[in-house]
Amino acid sequence: MLTLSVGLTQYMVLSAILFGIGLFGVLSKKNAIAVLICIELMLNAVNINLLAFNKFVTPTQFIGQIFAIFVITVAAAEVGVGLAIIIAIYRNKLSVNLDEFDWLKW
């Protein structure tokens, strides 16, 4: 019988993989929408971390869970703002290609 024991390490590895995928996406995607989605991935990696620590380190308290809910809330707001910015840019440029968005340049 194959026993699968899922411990803190496994959660953290999963979280790290998810964070890495998100980071890679953020750094490499051309599409602004895709970048936003990848940010969500990174945030959720953090959420997994928070919940795993909550479960294994302080099971009697709910600090980690509360933090995760906070992160979800903030992420929702952030996506709202981010999408609004992208739409505004799209109206100007008729594009969501990040390579064309270099207005912060000197």
Partner 1 sequence: MVDFAMQHAWLVPLLPALAFVVIVFLTKPWQKLSALVAVAGIVGAFVFAALAAYGVFTHPEFTEGSLVYGVRWLSMPGLHINVGIMLDPTSAMMIFMVSLVSSLIFIYATGYMKGDPGFSVFFSYVSLFAASMLLLVLSSNLLEMFVGWELVGLCSYLLIGFYTHKISAREAAKKAFVTCRIADFGLLLGMLSLQIVFGTLDLPELAQKIAHFHQYTSAGVLTLIAVLVFLGPIGKSGQFPLHVWLPDAMEGPTPVSALIHAATMVVAGVYLVGRMLFLFSEIPSAMELVAITGAFTALFAATIAITQREIKRILAYSTVSQLGYMMLALGVGSLSASMFHMWTHAFFKALMFMGAGSVLTALHHKADVWEMGGLVKKMPITAWTFVVGGLAIAGIPPFAGFWSKDEILATALNSHHYVLFAMGAFTAFLTAFYMWRLIFLAFFGEENPANHPVESPWNMTVPLIILAALATVGGWVGTPWDNVWSQWIFFGEVEHAAPNYGVMIGSVILALAGIYLAYQLYYVDREKVKAKALAERYHGIYTLLFNKYYIDEIYLWFNHAIVDGSAKLFYLFDIYVVDGIIVNGLGAFTRLSGEGLRITETGRLQNYALVFFLGVLIIAVALAFSSPSAAGLLLGGVK
State how far the alpha carbon of 21 is from the alpha carbons of 8, 15, 27, 30, 93, in Å. Answer: 20, 10, 10, 15, 28
Residue number with CB closer to partner 1 (81 or 104): 104
Selected from 23, 34, 51, 72, the binder of partner 1 by CB under 8 A is 23
Helix (H) or strand (E) holding 31: none
Candidate ranges 5-13, 66-74, 78-86, 87-95; the one touching partner 1 (CB under 8 A): 5-13
- Under the criterion CB under 8 A, does residue 84 sit at the interface with partner 1? no
Q: Is 2 in the site for partner 1 (CB under 8 A)?
A: no
Instruction: Choose which of 7, 17, 28, 69 interacts with partner 1 (CB under 8 A).
Output: 28
Q: For the segment 47-66, give every residue that binds partner 1 (CB under 8 A).
A: 53, 57
The owner of tokens 């270099």 is 102
Ramachandran angles phi, psi of 74, nearest 5°: -60, -40
